[in-house]
Amino acid sequence: MTDLKTRGLVIVGCGKMGSAMLKGWLANGLAPSSVTVIAPRPSAWLQSVEGLRLNAMPDTPPAMVMLGVKPQIMPDVMPDVARFAGGQTLFLTVAAGLPIAFYEAALGARTPLVRAMPNTPSAIGRGITAIVGNGAADEADLDLCERLLGAVGQVVRLEGESQMNAVAAVSGSGPAYVFHLIETLAAAGEAEGLPADMALKLAKATVGGAGALAEESDMLPSELRVQVTSKGGTTAEALKVLMDAQTGFAPLLKRAVRANINRSEELAK
């Protein structure tokens, strides 16, 4: 991150996720004096970081500009950062939904840009982010973005931007599906006589623990499932319902992911 230390980093929009990233970068040795944050309403934490530059764009091109504002606000901020277009500054965007073509229209195709799709667990350092660069972004640019985004979780590289809608449907929106699973599992337990608070505690711990086990184990999720399922037992009986070819999890989630992608394609028109 030598170039960031010498030429600086500008963060435009620094909410929960941006702050989580910044905390990781500062912990890894990036000096606050190398960072400029543009945020109309900076958090108390941002204001407390000694040496951090707030709401004052640098006069010279920084090493990187990270765009973290909401997609609907992005058109308003592009004129403010377009002064750094042309190739000296790498742009990293973590805004959902906006294609590379949107940024190139404002910054030019010669400006290196990396588009990233993080998810909400990034706010606690347990996220996963997919990245893809435009034609002007080289391997060093992608390496830098991967190192930076690694501060909030895992990072994967896409073969092309055409995969981004699928990523958004699986990992970007995926936490909402999991939260709904927790919600409905707790409701099912409550319907069978458990106190509401106990049912919710059991559901949250079960989903969280199973997810951690799946990540840390060398076994496939299907193998872990078989380990928990005794032949002819209660789990097997429940899985008959959940794995039904017509009404079970698999066809339901396929339809949900496809609906997500269809909507992304509609919004991009």
Give binding residues as ranges.
Answer: 55
Helix axes 196-216, 174-191, angle to 10 degrees: 140
CA–CA distance, 4 with 190 (Å, rounded to integer)? 52
Q: Which position has the token pair 């391997």?
A: 139
Q: Strand runs (DSSP E) across the chain, as ranges?
A: 9-12, 35-38, 53-54, 64-67, 90-93, 113-117, 127-133, 153-157
Annotated binding site for NADPH: 55
Closest CA relative to residue 90, chosen from 159, 138, 37: 138
Q: For residue 185, what are the CA distances in angstroms to 93, 122, 201, 203, 250?
A: 36, 24, 11, 6, 17
